[in-house]
Structure 1
Amino acid sequence: MPQQTTAMPLSRTHAQDLFARTRAMTARLAQPLAPEDMMLQSMEDASPAKWHLAHTTWFFEEFILKPHAPGYRSPDDRFAFLFNSYYVQAGPRHARAKRGLVSRPGVQAVLDYRAHVDEALGTLLERSDDPEVATLAELGCHHEMQHQELLVTDLLHAFSYNPLLPAYRDPEPMAVTAEEPLRFMRHEGGLMEIGHAGDGFAYDCEGPRHRVWLDPYEIAERPVTNRDWIAFMEAGGYATQTLWLMEGWAVRERERWDAPLYWWQQDGVWWTYTLRGPQPVNLDAPVCHVSYYEAEAFARWAGARLPTEAEWEVAFRDRPLAGNFLEQGALRPLPSGSPWGDVWEWTQSSFSPYPGFRPPEGALGEYNGKFMVNQYVLRGGSCATPAAQMRPTYRTFFYPHQRWQMMGLRLARDV
Structure 2
Amino acid sequence: MATRSDPRELDNLGQRLAATRTLTLDLAAPLSDADATIQPFPDASPAKWHLAHTTWFFETFVLRDLGIAPFDERFAYLFNSYYEGEGERIARDRRGMIGRPSLDEIRDWRTHVDERLDRALASLSDGARALVELGIQHEQQHQELFLTDILATFAANPLEPAYGPREEAGLRPPAYAGVRDDRWDSHPGGIAMIGAPDEGFAFDCERPRHRALVHPHALVPRPVSNSEWAEFIADGGYTVATLWLSEGWDWVRRERVTRPLYWREDGTEFTLAGRVTRERDAPVAHVSFYEADAYARWAGARLPREEEWEVAAQGANASEGQQLDVATGVVPAPKNGLFGGVWEWTNSAFLAHPGFKPAEGTVGEYNGKFMCGQFVLKGASCATPRGHSRASYRNFFPPAARWQFTGVRLARD
> What is the TM-score of this pair, normalised by structure 1?
0.93
Alignment of 1:223-234 (within 5 A): 223-234=223-234
Instruction: Measure the CA separation in 2 of the matches of 1:190 and 1:362.
Output: 37
Tell me, yes or no, if structure 1 residue 403 matches structure 2 residue 399.
Answer: no
Shift of the alpha carbon at 1:10? 9.0
Equivalent of residue 26 in structure 1, options 24, 27, 31 = 24
Instruction: Measure the CA separation in 1 of the matches of 2:63 and 2:139.
Output: 16
CA contact (8 A) 2:321 2:333 kept: no
Instruction: Measure the CA separation in 2 of the matches of 1:291 and 1:92.
Output: 32
CA contact (8 A) 1:226 1:283 kept: yes
CA contact (8 A) 2:176 2:281 kept: no
Tell me, yes or no, if structure 1 residue 50 matches structure 2 residue 48.
Answer: yes
CA contact (8 A) 2:225 2:280 kept: yes
Tell me, yes or no, if structure 1 residue 114 matches structure 2 residue 110.
Answer: yes
Partner of 2:295: 298
RMSD of equivalent CA atoms: 2.0
Shift of the alpha carbon at 1:133? 2.3
Shift of the alpha carbon at 1:73? 2.0
CA contact (8 A) 1:85 1:93 kept: yes
Instruction: Measure the CA separation in 2 of the matches of 1:176 and 1:385.
Output: 18
Partner of 1:181: 181
- Write the letter of the residue equivalent to 1:278: R
Q: Secondary structure at the match of 2:54?
A: helix
Partner of 1:248: 248
Partner of 1:346: 345
Alignment of 1:12-411 (within 5 A): 12-68=10-66, 70=67, 72-126=68-122, 128-172=123-167, 179-266=179-266, 270-321=267-318, 322-327=320-325, 330=329, 336-411=335-410
- Write the letter of the residue equivalent to 1:74: P
**How many residue pairs align between the two structures?**
402
CA contact (8 A) 1:285 1:333 kept: no
Instruction: Measure the CA separation in 1 of the matches of 2:331 and 2:252.
Output: 25
Shift of the alpha carbon at 1:171? 2.2
CA contact (8 A) 1:183 1:222 kept: no
Unaligned ranges ≥5, structure 2: none
Distance change >3 Å, CA 129–CA 177, structure 1 → 2: closer
Instruction: Measure the CA separation in 1 of the matches of 2:6 and 2:233.
Output: 51
- Write the letter of the residue equivalent to 1:240: V
Instruction: Measure the CA separation in 2 of the matches of 1:331 and 1:265.
Output: 30
CA contact (8 A) 1:275 1:332 kept: no
* CA offset digits 1:367-410 (Å, max 9, x no partner): 11110011000000100111121111000000000100000010
> What is the TM-score of this pair, normalised by structure 2?
0.94
Instruction: Measure the CA separation in 1 of the matches of 2:86 and 2:405.
Output: 31
Distance change >3 Å, CA 333–CA 82, structure 1 → 2: farther
Aligned identity (percent) is 50
CA contact (8 A) 2:321 2:332 kept: no
Shift of the alpha carbon at 1:91? 1.4
Partner of 1:4: none
